A and B are shown apart, each in its own frame.
Chain A
Amino acid sequence: MSTSGNILEVRNVSKSFHDPVTVPVLKGVSLEVKPGEFVSITGKSGCGKSTLLYILSTMDTDYEGDLVIDGESTHGLDGSRLAEIRNEKIGFVFQFHYLLTEFSVLKNVMLPGLKLGRSSAAEVEARAIELLRDLDMQDHALKGANQLSGGQKQRVAIARALINDPAIIMGDEPTGNLDSKNSAVVFDIFRKIASEHKRSLLVVTHDNDFAGRTDRNILMDDGRVVG
């Protein structure tokens, strides 16, 4: 934990794309996320919200400014340390589910836990089954990942994001590809994670209805935070 108590702090982050001409996408963005806070980021297409999310996720390292995750500055860390941070402290939910189709649902959920290696394979498996039960997916544990519907896949992805008890969960349009019923289910799960498990959430979305029901909405326009 940092002294300020924030899970995530972004200070004055700027980024430009250089191909084919230099175009600034982020112009000095600063924000923070507190423990247990459910934050959404909205804005028009091309305002830089997804770019910002991938910088926050540590996968994109080509930017200026500073990013502090759970009290640790990511500035100048090497690729394998950043991978460890992603593994331990960040959970991801993407728009297109991104499960590994070669593995069973259960194995998909377990993989980040096995990679972390904090507990034994049996313990990771027990925790994965518990998470799947919480999300009402326990009956599908041994199915292949491509035998599920879109909403089911997204629930598996959420279970995977939670397996290592991360400090923060990030979502990139997690409901963008779902119908309204499944969107509502996913939102309820997120809400529960924030209120019951005291996890922070940071979700990029197009859905104003979804954004309106989060604790705090950050509105972006043209590479800047505007509200």
Chain B
Amino acid sequence: MRLLLSISITLLRAKLKQSIVAAVGVTFSIAMFVTLLGFMNGLNDLLDGLILNRTPHVRLYNELKASPEQPIESWYDQGVGTDFPPTHHFVRSVKPKDELPRLRNGSAIMKALENDPRVLAVSPRLVAQVFFNVGTVDLNGQVNGIDVMQEVRYYQFSDYLVQGDPKDLASGNNTIVLGKGLADMMEAGIGETVQVTTATGERSILRVVGIYQSGIADYDKVQCYANIKNVQKLMSRPSSYYTDINVKMHDLLQAPAAAKEFAGRFGVDALDIQTANAQFETGSDVRSIISYAVGIVLLIVAGFGIYNILNMMIYEKLDAIAILKATGFSGSDVRRIFLLLSMIIGICGGIAGLLFGFALQTLIDNVPFVTAALPTVTTFPIDYNPKYYIIAVTFALLTTWVSGWFPARKASKVDPVEIIRGK
């Protein structure tokens, strides 16, 4: 094998220019493949993260719904009113029940979820509609009462806090973090106070300890965050009063099944992340498929380059093939020589392509990319996942092997007698 390898290398060096051209084809396609996928997935992760990082895998809540059963229907269905023909019922007298939007038995549900082995983290929320009183104007707002440290740990809360420290929110009394748009409207900075009126008419003064920017402008104009204890106090509710329970699973894919199960078990509404954000999955998938398709097409084109050059080389080297066969190299030896030649081109081109691709990724990673919508991003995102490098190399070796195999087989079938006598 070492002998065959040294013969391949000698043949390669005799045709150095063409070999380099073929290798550059592989280099180019690998570099583009790696760069494209790294960039695309960097963007995907960024965009998905925008929503998915902050979104619980399963959200438990109570929704105000129209009464599912109207009296006339039950009366009819029980077979009492047989004198009514089966027609549409216009009489819908029962309105949605006047009940608190809280989760009944919230603490017990929390405890049960915390003991569930599939669950990574459970955090309660209390969402309250409020008005911010700015001079004579009342601005609409929504205060999310959160378990601050839990949110920091599992939902990257601090990534979106453009000013301030989450610890101040966790420890302080009567503190609030305002959405960027809302803070700008009220011209409220850190340390200043804002006056809040709840939907039930209670008023209080809260101190601003941070500014929050999610990247979605409409959201930032309305949303605020406060410690859940403070919100319960603000609304004069007991400490077991939650409107939502957010669940993060160990395995994201279990969310739909778990949501269904929790809804039945606890008698609440449950929304899983896949249902809530189906469009993100689809977008990411389509972008990935496009990048893979482009990358693989590039590799196939490079494969044709290798195929052409090897074919040419074999026609030029018919004499050499004949003499190798006459002096005792078998057909499969000759095939291996040319296959090795192709693989050397593929491996050298591939390694150069990986280095070049990494360089390109680094370059893109350092191009400034500043947008108000994404506070934590300053340069273009790149996903340096080694997975793409491995896929690229695997495909490069596969295409060079296939494109080398056909010419190599042709070489192995050269009849030495024909060449030697034909002279």
Contact = CB atoms under 8 A, between A and B. Distances in A.
Contacts of B268: none
A92 B327 contact: yes
How large, as a class, is the contact surface on chain B? 20 to 34
How large, as a class, is the contact surface on chain A? 20 to 34
Interface string A107-123: 10001101111000000
Interface of B: 3, 7, 10-11, 13-14, 319-320, 322-333, 415-417, 420-421, 423
Contact of A83 (B3, B13, B325, B423): B325
Given A83-B331, A111-B7, A115-B328, 12 more contacts: A54-B417, A54-B421, A59-B325, A80-B330, A80-B332, A83-B328, A92-B326, A95-B423, A98-B323, A102-B14, A103-B10, A115-B3
Interface string A48-72: 0010001001011000000000000
Q: Which 7 A-B pairs have the closest CB atoms?
A: A87-B328, A83-B330, A80-B330, A102-B14, A112-B327, A98-B323, A86-B328
A117 B4 CA distance: 12
A57 B420 CA distance: 12
A94 B420 CA distance: 8
A9 interface: no
- Of the listed residues A86, A164, A172, the one surrounded by the most CB atoms of chain B closer than 10 A to its CB is A86
A25 to B, nearest CB: 12
A164 B10 CA distance: 22
A88 interface: yes
A84 B420 contact: no
B419 to A, nearest CB: 9
B225 to A, nearest CB: 74
8 contacts: A79-B330, A80-B331, A82-B330, A94-B420, A102-B320, A107-B10, A112-B328, A115-B327
Contacts of B324: 100, 111
A59 B326 contact: yes
- Of the listed residues B11, B14, B326, B328, the one surrounded by the most CB atoms of chain A closer than 10 A to its CB is B328
A100 B320 contact: yes
A115 B323 contact: no
B85 to A, nearest CB: 90
B326 A57 contact: yes
Contacts of B323: 98-100
Nearest to B419: A98
A219 B324 CA distance: 31
Nearest to A104: B10
Contacts of A94: 326, 420
A155 interface: no
Interface in A120-150: none
Contacts of B420: 54, 94, 98, 172
